[in-house]
């Protein structure tokens, strides 16, 4: 965006805000797209949890970390002496550094046992640095753990465990020490990345922005990215993005898709699923096998032994076959109505959809998870 366009920026915002109107199916741009380069960053660290009620561990790396901690306070253990403790555990610490997080702001952390600790319940994490992928320290974690799991064990070896007692959280347990770099205020443009790439949606986003701020301000780069010219001044860019993220439009409708969860029998059918003309016959064959033990008892004068003889009974039951006739262009509603009319189960519908896909009559993507 050049200087002349920047001078007209505030006037364009006022006119644009008055022009924004939401339709019944419109969505805000902030709900379907994010700003390129603006994201959270994972942090990881290593530390010690102390104060456990006999549920800690005795591992070499735990003892090494414990000695290193004591040495920082001027306490040096004699050579060859290994401390014995049951109330200390070595843990891995995880956190997400949000975008725009500033030094001094708190973030949540997750703490998980690394060794043989049976539970972290009641423990406290000692001060531990959290590093990014570049190796720099971005936060410092410390605090009391909140553990949702619980475990108990008897002297005879019996035990009971509820949830996971070897992992917990510390709400606001870390303090940000370093700003994560981002490129929000760099360059003459910003990139909007769609959460669900779609050429129709990308085209509509660019058109709506150009309708609001003028021609050639935005252009769709591909199905998932829209490049938008933006002012260089940070304060103007914040106002600019505030207008953009509240812009409403109707996204493109997703492709026809059928998703089947084979474990639970759940079937989700998209709105644009169509079927070519096809006929499907579907029936169930049930085979039942029962085992029975019979006793063979010889008569009193026979010199035989009493024995048991197995007997197997096999029964075959075949339900009445169902014939489904689908004309060309049949819709989702008609498919469901036809299957429900004969009292078919979700498993029957799953088999019918798979058969239609194999025959090339299902005009949709079939996804089995």
The domain spans of the chain are 3-38+183-249, 41-176, 257-368
pLDDT reported for residue 188: 86
Question: On the CB side of 283, how many CA atoms lie within 13 Å of its CA?
Answer: 10
Q: Note the pTM of the prediction, 2 decimals.
A: 0.63
Using DSSP, state whether 238 is helix, strand or coil: helix
Backbone angles phi, psi at 240, to 5 degrees: -60, -50
pLDDT digits (tens, 9 = 90+) for 109-148: 999 998 888 888 889 999 999 999 999 999 999 999 998 8
Q: How far, in Å, CA of 207 to CA of 183, rounded?
A: 25
Rounded Cα distance between 325 and 334, Å, is 11
- What is residue 85's three-state secondary structure? coil
Other CB atoms within 10 A of residue 288 CB? 9
Tell me, what's the pLDDT at 225? 93
Question: Which residues in the chain land under pLDDT 50?
Answer: 2-24, 285-286
Task: Supply the mean pLDDT for the chain.
Answer: 77
């Amino acid at each position: 965006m050049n200087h002349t366009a920047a001078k007209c920026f505030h006037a364009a915002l006022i006119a644009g805000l008055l022009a924004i109107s939401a339709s019944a199916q419109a969505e805000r741009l902030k709900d379907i797209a994010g700003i390129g380069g603006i994201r959270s960053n994972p942090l990881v660290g290593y530390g010690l949890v102390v104060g456990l009620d006999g549920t800690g561990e005795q591992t070499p790396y735990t003892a090494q970390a414990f000695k290193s901690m004591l040495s920082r306070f001027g306490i040096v253990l004699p050579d060859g002496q290994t401390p014995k403790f049951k109330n200390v555990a070595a843990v891995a610490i995880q956190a997400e550094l949000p975008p725009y997080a500033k030094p001094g702001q708190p973030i949540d952390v997750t703490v998980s046992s690394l060794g043989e600790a049976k539970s972290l319940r009641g423990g406290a994490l000692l001060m531990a640095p959290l590093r990014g992928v570049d190796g720099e320290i971005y936060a410092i974690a410390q605090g009391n753990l909140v553990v949702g799991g619980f475990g108990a064990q008897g002297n005879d070896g019996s035990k009971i465990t509820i949830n996971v007692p070897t992992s917990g959280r510390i709400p606001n347990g870390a303090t940000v020490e370093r700003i994560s770099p981002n490129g929000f205020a760099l360059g003459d443009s910003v990139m909007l990345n769609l959460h669900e790439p779609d050429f129709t949606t990308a085209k509509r986003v660019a058109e709506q922005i150009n309708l609001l701020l003028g021609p050639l301000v935005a252009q769709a780069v591909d199905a998932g990215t829209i490049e938008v010219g933006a002012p260089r001044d940070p304060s103007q860019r914040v106002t600019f993005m505030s207008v953009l993220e509240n812009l409403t439009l109707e996204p493109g409708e997703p492709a026809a898709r059928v998703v089947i969860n084979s474990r639970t029998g759940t079937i989700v059918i998209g709105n644009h699923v169509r079927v070519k003309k096809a006929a499907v016959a579907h029936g169930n064959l049930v085979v039942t096998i029962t085992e029975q033990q019979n006793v063979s008892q010889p008569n009193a004068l026979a010199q035989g032994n009493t024995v048991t003889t197995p007997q197997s009974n096999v029964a075959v039951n075949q339900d009445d076959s169902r014939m489904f006739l689908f004309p060309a262009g049949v819709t989702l509603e008609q498919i469901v109505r036809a299957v429900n009319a004969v009292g078919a189960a979700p498993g029957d519908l799953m088999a019918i959809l798979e058969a239609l896909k194999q025959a090339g009559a299902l005009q949709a993507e079939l996804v089995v998870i």
